[in-house]
Amino acid sequence: MVAKRKAKTVLVEASDDYLQCRDLMHAWKWVTDFAPHREERKITAMTRTLVCMRCGTERHDEYELPSFIKTKSTYSYPEDYRMVGFKGHVPVAEVRRELYGRLKKKASD
């Protein structure tokens, strides 16, 4: 069992790219065209895949037809993107505090 850790601890261990994605949201890049979902001979839905240019997270969006309304998004995160041992939501203010601390440290070096 992984011990519960504090947000500050897991943020210190995170890469700059991962923190930027948590602060600014992912920088999505289109990867695939719409891929059809078929039921017998009828196309019932489409899926499109995107990837984050900073951290490598993949997003798979599913759209219903004929409206093209997005019905679901699923994500595949890099193994070390998830904050192992931390339960709950990391406030974006804490992410920004960590980024600022890193900036200050670089400036003083």
Per-residue model confidence (pLDDT) at position 3: 45
Per-residue model confidence (pLDDT) at position 30: 95
Q: With contact defined as beta carbons under 8 Å apart, do 22 and 102 qualify?
A: no
- Angle at CA 92, nearest 5°, toward 59 and 76? 20
Neighbouring C-alpha atoms within 13 Å toward the C-beta of 64: 4
pTM of the entire structure? 0.76
> What architecture is domain 7-108?
Beta Complex (2.170)
Taking the chain (109 residues) in consecutive chunks of 10 residues, what is each chunk's mean pLDDT?
61 91 95 90 94 97 95 93 79 91 88
Per-residue model confidence (pLDDT) at position 82: 81
